[in-house]
Amino acid sequence: MSDQPLHPDTVAVHAGRSDFAALGVHASPIDLSSTNPLPDIVHGGDSYESISTGGHPLPEGGNVYGRLWNPTVARFEEALAELEHAEESVAFSSGMAATTAAILSHTTAVGKHHVVAVRPLYGGTDHLLDSGLLGAEVTFCEEGEVPGAIRPDTGLIVLETPANPTLDLVDIAAVVEHAEGVPVLVDNTFATPLLQNPLDLGATMSLHSATKYIGGHGDVIAGAIACSAQTAQQLRRVRAITGSLLHPLAAYLLHRGLPTLPVRMQVQQENARKLATLLQDDPAVATVFYPGLDDPRGIVGRQMRGGGAMVSIRLTGGYAAAEALTGAVRLFTHAVSLGGVDSLIQHPAALTHRPLPPDVRPGADIIRLSIGLENIDDLAADLTQALAATPEAASV
């Protein structure tokens, strides 16, 4: 085989399978053990200390306990790390558990109590930071305000690109440059490792709500962070203490879903691009938010390898139109979440971003669409008929 780096779609199929031949298996084994036999007291104790402080288990009987380490989870972590061009990745029981670990490990755990957060962000992340529950003081700002927001006690900069729900794009490399050494966490959920690799641009951590595109089938809750080995140890320490290790069955489902991520994303992205173009001409739609439609800095093509599969729209008929649209669709499922094989529609202000203060909440006229694998003509027809039922469109 050539020494050339493998393409991402090949990596997605083969990553995390390095021990399969020795095990004599072709599909990933699921280890559901909650506890593990120990060869002796010394070996068990040394391994327990290693993994409870964020390290790896000792070989030959060192897994100890299911809250601290699981081989099925470790295989998924190995696969995601390879896709993200990272030394390691750390998997959690949810995206919010991953976010919590990232914040704690870079703020209170190291005596830094300030976070800079670039809005817009996923509503759960924004709410967590704004709540003060983690003991961090937060400065919310726009991308251009990051340099002025950093303080001597800033432990972390948090951003999301494309951002939820209006798909704003942030120049990761520019933020890293302005950070001047302050760790940068990038929520890479919408882009996935197929379209964007934040670590290649200098970010410290690339976070995924793996519930979304990584899982891709709406049947698993998970989070993961790709990062350096040193950062991974910090994250695993928090994970061990807080008990937020991903369940092995969920890890199996995620690892099984990775090989189809490239083909899923290819079709979903093409569907989204076509729908975004179509929606621009619909009289019921005031604005279409989709990466690449309005991108004066050329981030798509330079930082991202495509616009992704999320589309958001602002309706001319305001909240009444949003309410009518979510009730009139037939193929789109009215539900939160995203990234699955079927198309979803939701109202961010009423749902995912409802806990935010009213002045920063998305507009009541904004609808978010997660585009799935259905035939594009069927999706277009469904949206067209549903938009025709909105109050503003009915009066045109």
What residues are labeled active site? 67, 122, 187, 212
Residues in the chain: 396
Among positive and negative, which fits the CA dihedral 278, 280, 284, 287?
Answer: positive
The bridge status of strand 333-334 relative to strand 344-346 is parallel
* CB-CB contact of 165 with 366 (8 Å): yes
CA proximity to 86, closest of 300, 299, 265, 230: 230
Asked if the peptide bond before residue 391 counts as cis, ω within 30 degrees of 0, the response is no
The bridge status of strand 154-160 relative to strand 114-118 is parallel
Can you tell me the distance from the alpha carbon of 123 to that of 187, in angstroms, rounded to the nearest whole number? 12
Can you tell me the distance from the alpha carbon of 179 to that of 155, in angstroms, rounded to the nearest whole number? 10
CA proximity to 186, closest of 174, 93, 75: 174
Can you tell me the distance from the alpha carbon of 169 to that of 189, in angstroms, rounded to the nearest whole number? 13
**Helical residues (DSSP H) of 35-70, grouped into ranges:** 41-52
Can you tell me the distance from the alpha carbon of 374 to that of 336, in angstroms, rounded to the nearest whole number? 18
